[in-house]
Amino acid sequence: MCGSRRLASLAGLIVVMSVPPSPAGAGDQAHALPATAIDSARPTDLFGRGGLGIEFAGGVFTEAWNLNDRKEWLADGTASVWWAFAQGWMLVTEFHATRVFQSPSRAAFVQGVTPLVRWRVIEPAAWSLFVDLGPGISWSDTAVPPRGTRFNYLLLAGAGLSRPLGRQSHAIVGFRWLHVSNNGREGRVRNPDIEAIGAYAGISLVLSP
């Protein structure tokens, strides 16, 4: 009986010794993610230096002062390309397709292009605050506003917020002032301007971080 107990104890010792020890920190390593996986999941900085991207947005504006015969309002759609030439700074080129509702004249279809400088004033957080400013040109299928001209200059200034939606997509919302006039190119009588304010929203996509 004593011999049987000794044999059983010896067999148990052999089994225990044959099991390889677990490496230190194996439990932690099972739950740890590689650094590359963490980086790939982190949203791309919209204003990161060297970034390239595109942007699509739409907005509504209403004439606020310097009213003409009637108050105009505008529905504006934009497609843009941008380049972050420095950390926190980007150049944006906006292509506009705008419907100007004006009375008594018929509504106008305006196409324009506006280069903008946009810079971030608050560093990355859940929301980032930016401002932008830039001049542009436009042409229309009828005089804008009434008694004005088909060719006009544009000036945009505003502030907005951006928030990551995915790794390379960001939602944007903002508030802008829009100026439309021919700068007196054809005389003061034919230079009624539009001074409009409004809001816009869209999506910005980082194509090359």
Q: Write out pLDDT tens, residues 103-138.
A: 777 788 999 999 999 999 987 678 899 999 999 999
Q: Do 72 and 52 share a structural domain?
A: yes
Q: Do 157 and 71 share a structural domain?
A: yes
141, pLDDT greater than 50: yes
Cα 2 from Cα 96, distance rounded (Å): 96
Cα 2 from Cα 16, distance rounded (Å): 22
- Decide: residue 148, CB within 10 A, 0-12 exposed, 13-18 middle, 19+ buried: buried
Q: Do 188 and 130 share a structural domain?
A: yes
Q: What is the DSSP string of 123-179?
A: -SSSSEEEEEEEEEEEEEEEEETTTTEEEEEEEEEEEEEEEESSSSEEEEEEEEEEE
65, pLDDT greater than 80: no
Q: Do 198 and 185 share a structural domain?
A: yes
Q: Do 147 and 94 share a structural domain?
A: yes
Q: Do 25 and 115 share a structural domain?
A: no
CA-atom Rg of the chain in angstroms: 31
Domain count of the fold of the chain: 2
Q: Pick the residue with more confidence: 102 or 131?
A: 131
Residue 173 belongs to domain spanning: 44-208
Query: What local confidence, expressed as pLDDT, does residue 1 receive?
Result: 47
Identify the CA nearest to 14 among candidates 6, 3, 26: 6
CATH number at residue 66: 2.40.160.20
Q: Do 95 and 8 share a structural domain?
A: no
Query: What local confidence, expressed as pLDDT, does residue 30 receive?
Result: 40
Q: Pick the residue with more confidence: 132 or 182?
A: 132
Average pLDDT over every residue of 154-172: 94
- What's the mean pLDDT when you consider all of the chain? 81
Q: Do 55 and 35 share a structural domain?
A: no
Q: Give the range with max mean pLDDT: 7-21, 63-77, 147-161.
A: 147-161
66, pLDDT greater than 80: no
Average pLDDT over every residue of 8-20: 47
Average pLDDT over every residue of 144-151: 82
Q: Do 87 and 122 share a structural domain?
A: yes
208, pLDDT greater than 70: yes
Query: What local confidence, expressed as pLDDT, does residue 17 receive?
Result: 45
Query: What local confidence, expressed as pLDDT, does residue 26 receive?
Result: 45
Q: What is the pLDDT of residues 69-101, one digit of tens each?
A: 667 889 999 999 999 999 999 999 999 999 998
Q: Do 131 and 54 share a structural domain?
A: yes
Q: Do 88 and 69 share a structural domain?
A: yes
Q: Do 74 and 33 share a structural domain?
A: no
Average pLDDT over every residue of 39-66: 86
Cα 43 from Cα 29, distance rounded (Å): 24
Average pLDDT over every residue of 38-50: 77
